[in-house]
Amino acid sequence: MALPIISIAALVLILTLAIYQYVILPVFLSPLAKIPNAHWSAPLSRLWILYHRSREEETPTVHLAHQRHGPIIRIAPNEVSVNSIDGGIRTIYAGGFEKGDWYKNVFNNYGIMPMFAMPEHAPHSKRKRMLSNIYAKSTLQNSPAIYAISKALLDDRLMPCLRDLNRKGNPIEFYDVFAAITMDFVTAYVFGLRNSSALIERPDMNRKFFRDYKARQRYQFWPQDLPLVTSILGKLGLKWLVVPEWVNQANSDIEAWILSMCDKAEGTLNQLDDCEVGNRAENYPTVYAQLRNALLKENSSSKGSDDSSVARAVRDCRLEVASEMLDHTLAGFDTSSITLTFYAWELSRSSNKHWQDRLRRELLSLPDKHDAKAVDALPILHATLMETLRLHAAIPGNQPRITPASATLGVPGPNNLHITDLPAGVRVQSQAWSLHRNPSVFPEPEKWNPGRWLEASYPSKTDYMAAQKEMSRWFWAFGSGGRMCVGSNLAMLDMKAIIASIWGTYRTEVVYDRGMVHRGGYVAEPIGKEGKYCMLKLEEN
């Protein structure tokens, strides 16, 4: 009879410990216990937030929870979302909070992490220093390569394409157009114009690549948020249950495509004595060469400097360079094409006709639409683009970080939530969607109002400057701190150049826009309807 009594006692002890570990501790005793819960189950389980992530609706769901419960909320037993600058963004993204496995589980190309996925600050900073100069605003605006690329892509490829499509008399799907031209722009700067994608001239290839690329994104949830489950299924040969095999094939095809452009860029560097290549700045693979040469320099002391040693070093760093180039290319085209699609939609709506008229008057006065400095200085163009980036940020979703030991969130004060002594390993995150919808900073936050970025909308210059300063603090379309998007200046430049070319030539009007609804995940592209997104009618001057 003793054995059953011992078994019952052991069972009671195990049950008691389980209740303490998974109920009493997280609900009542954890430093996170004082944080308002986004959902009643948040202290007990990740199921609530995982459900919304799996359905690509986390962003609006978390935003609604912030509206109900305040700037700091608990979304899972060990996860917190923060929607504030002081004690929030500044603490998390400029205070030594590192990235976790969430990034490297997906943003990992050829088995090598690019800069974006590097969890620790030091290696990320080292890589960023290798690349930041070529993405500096002054470098881009004064670049002969950028000028020549802009002229070739826009005058010789995009505008003839639009004229041909317009002659057919049918509305034009601009999401496809923007996907092609932004990919061409980014790859021309990264790999050189002669080695670039040229998708605007190959619409069938563009549509296939674009649809495959976007379709695979919805399956990132499994390796990102449930990596152990995904790994076990993979070992059992059952990964196809959550990630179809065609997704792996699509990823492999993308890697092969980028690697082929890297190899072409390497070929260009080996032909620099060729007059046709060497004397044309647009053909120089600027970004590829910058990283490739930096890595070769870093390794030259150990591998020698003769031709055979250099060739061997190039082979050794081939995939490392390719991983970085893949990340820059896909991030650059994806975010810019999303932003431009929402920009075109807003500008072409009948309710915003006055903004299109003002923009076109501004553009028609421009002597040279390829002069990056002159285009950048246009106030209406800048205001309409900034407002689109605010309301329709391409990456509005969570940007998770991991707390160090004894971390704090919030600011001290009698009416503030101030969390101290957070343990190491808590996942904390913020999202641009919520930061950009603070009504005290952006009045009528759901309204597309470019006027908020223009001095003429304010009673005095002092009021304007104060508003701009506060909006800049909360503007997070490109992130902030040391991990702010390295390509933000290139993105602004190519988007403004594309806008100047299109609306400097055409008026646009919405024909079909029932698919212009944000997807609610990490990326907020339009969800589309019946394969259509933003179809516009063009009217030439």
User: What secondary structure does DSSP assign to 80-124, as a single string?
Assistant: EEE--IIIIIHHHHTTTPBP-HHHHTTS-BTTB--GGG--SHHHH
Q: Decide if pLDDT at 172 tops 80.
A: yes
SS3 state at 438: coil
pLDDT-based confidence at residue 21 (cuts at 50, 70, 90): confident
Model pLDDT, residue 387: 99
Cβ-Cβ contacts under 8 Å for 374 (sequence gap 6 or more): 366, 367, 368
In whole angstroms, what is the distance from residue 204 CA to residue 56 CA? 28
The CA dihedral of 400, 405, 406, 410, to the nearest 10 degrees, is: -10
Tokens 């903004």 belong to 355
The Cα–Cα gap between 358 and 380 comes to 7
pLDDT of residue 10: 86
Kindly state the average pLDDT of the residues 32-42: 95
Do residues 82 and 62 lie in contact, with contact meaning Cβ atoms separated by under 8 Å? no
pLDDT tens digits, one per residue of 250-309: 999 999 999 999 999 999 999 875 555 546 899 999 999 999 999 998 877 555 556 666
User: What is the C-alpha to C-alpha distance for residues 420 and 426, in angstroms, rounded to an integer?
Assistant: 13
The closest of 502, 515, 538, 431 to 214, measured between CA atoms, is 515
Confidence of residue 9 (pLDDT cuts 50, 70, 90): confident
pLDDT digits (tens, 9 = 90+) for 484-501: 999 999 999 999 999 999
pLDDT at 425: 95
pLDDT of residue 316: 83
Q: How many residues does the chain have?
A: 541
1-5, 76-80, 176-180, 237-241: least confident range:
1-5
Residue 64 has pLDDT above 80, yes or no: yes
Mean pLDDT for the stretch of residues 161-173: 95
Looking at residue 421, its pLDDT comes to: 86
Angle, vertex CA 17, rays to CA 12 and CA 21, nearest 5: 150
Phi-psi domain of 118 (left: phi exceeds 0; alpha: psi -120 through 50; beta: other): beta
Mean pLDDT, the chain, whole residue set: 93
Q: What percentage of the chain has pLDDT greater than the value 90?
A: 81
Region 87-111: mean pLDDT is: 91
125, pLDDT greater than 80: yes
Q: How far is the C-alpha of 321 from the C-alpha of 132, rounded, in Å?
A: 15
Number of Cβ atoms within 10 Å of the Cβ of 113: 21
pLDDT confidence of residue 273: 57
Q: Write the pLDDT tens digit of every residue in 193-244.
A: 999 999 999 988 878 888 889 888 889 999 999 999 999 999 999 999 999 9
Alpha carbon of 308 to those of 236, 253, 312, 313: distances in Å?
A: 44, 31, 6, 9
The pLDDT of residue 1 is above 80: no
Residue 392 confidence (pLDDT): 98
Contact by Cβ (8 Å): 342, 526? yes
Q: What is the pLDDT of residue 333?
A: 96
Rounded mean pLDDT of 29-40?
91
Q: What is the pLDDT of residues 378-411, one digit of tens each?
A: 999 999 999 999 999 999 999 999 999 999 999 8
- Backbone phi, then psi, for 486, in 5-degree steps? -70, -25
Angstrom distances, CA of residue 54 to CA of 31, 46, 103, 239, 404: 28, 12, 16, 16, 28
Split at pLDDT 50, 70, 90, the class of 412 is confident
* Mean pLDDT, residues 44-49 taken together: 96
pLDDT of residue 313: 74
Alpha-carbon distances of 151 from 155, 159, 280, 473, 494, rounded to whole Å = 5, 11, 13, 35, 11
Calculate mean pLDDT across residues 415-444: 95
SS3 annotation, 279-303: CCHHHCCHHHHHHHHHHHHHHHHHH
Q: Where are the domains of the chain?
A: 1-100+404-430
Distance between first and last Cα of the chain: 96
Model confidence at 2, pLDDT cuts 50, 70, 90, reads low
The answer to whether 430 and 399 are in contact (CB under 8 A) is: yes
Q: Considering only CA atoms, which of 220, 266, 215 is closest in space to residue 242? A: 220
Asked if 72 and 409 count as a contact pair (C-beta separation under 8 A), the reply is yes
Q: Is the pTM of this model over 0.85?
A: yes
Spatial neighbors of 385 by CB under 8 A, at least 6 apart, are 339, 343, 492, 495, 496, 499
Beta-strand relationship, 506-512 and 407-409: unpaired
419's enclosing H/E stretch is: strand 419-422
Helical ranges in 220-317 per DSSP H? 221-225, 227-235, 245-269, 275-278, 286-303, 307-316
What is the pLDDT, as a whole number, of residue 26? Answer: 78
pLDDT at 538: 98
Q: How many CB atoms lie within 10 A of CB 362?
A: 17
